[in-house]
Amino acid sequence: MLNADDLGASAAVNAAIMQAHREGVLTSASLMVTGPAAAEAVALARQAPGLAVGLHVVVAGGRAALPPERIPHIVDGDGAFPDDPLRAGLRYYFSRTARAELAAELEAQFERFAATGLALSHVDGHLHMHLHPTVFRLLLPLAGRYGARGLRLPRDQFWLAIRYDRQRAGIKALYALVFGLLARRCARALDGHPLKVADRVYGLMQTGRMREGYVLDLLGRLDVPTAELYFHPSTRAEDGPSGPNPADLATLLSPAVRRLIQERGLRPATYPALAAE
């Protein structure tokens, strides 16, 4: 599975995702229903029935679906969540009031996705906040009720990423520890659950830097039945070095990537396709 995050974040992201699906190897995208360009994204997705669309839950670093007066303990007066996921996560974990407001907000985001009429392919989260213990506990029944077929657990490989690129080694080690523990915790909760998860999920270690060489290395080494590679494509650089970027788009459009997929007999899939099997 080759997925693009942040559909609906901007017109540049929307354009890149549609180009990567139409001309490249992209099979799915994750929609921010509260993104500034969400309405445009939905209109474009309706014209691309082959693109599987999931929900990119936003509970940090973005805007809420509910008005701020409904959830005053988790957003500011403009309806924005804290940019710092640690700050937001501590509030969700320790405040009963915040948890109640979070539950209402999560349901509002699922309901907004349902209102698009698009089939809900999968669920993941902006900044991987869907793995937060409180968020995950509230999100899991909603994913089932609204018909999601899959859920992302970031099961990346630290040593493979370090071998390719030693930059930000400390951050990558921290990601490997924190998100590895969270993913294992969520996997235990999903045991026996109908939601599909991929055996490996790549993108965490090189977030915003999914360059052609790295992806070719990953594809050449894949030795698991299922894997998701996620990207942040855009037609222009956004949100700093880890945000949506043209280089991720170039990788998804790369003839070398397409050729290797074909040579290895890899089948680009989606979470609904996995569930159907």
pLDDT tens for 80-135 read 999 999 999 999 999 999 999 999 999 999 999 999 999 999 999 999 999 999 99
Q: What is the per-residue pLDDT across 245-275, written as a single tens digit (0 to 9) for each? A: 999 999 999 999 999 999 999 999 999 999 8
Which residues make Cβ contacts (< 8 Å) with residue 162, sequence separation at least 6?
169, 172
- Structure-token pair, residue 58: 């936003």
Q: DSSP character for 82?
A: P
Is 239's pLDDT higher than 80?
Answer: no
Percentage of the chain exceeding pLDDT 70:
99
Map out the domains of the chain with their CATH numbers: 2-276 (3.20.20.370)
CB atoms < 10 A from the CB of 89, how many? 20
Which residues make Cβ contacts (< 8 Å) with residue 30, sequence separation at least 6?
3, 4, 5, 6, 7, 53, 54, 55, 56, 122, 124, 230
Across 218-232, average pLDDT: 95
- Between CA 190 and CA 185 the distance in angstroms is 9
Q: What is the per-residue pLDDT across 159-190, written as a single tens digit (0 to 9) for each? A: 888 888 888 888 889 889 999 999 999 999 99
How much is the pLDDT for 158? Answer: 87
- When the pLDDT of each residue in the chain is averaged and rounded to a whole number, the result is 94
Q: What is the per-residue pLDDT across 131-159, written as a single tens digit (0 to 9) for each? A: 999 999 999 999 999 999 999 999 998 88
How much is the pLDDT for 242? Answer: 73
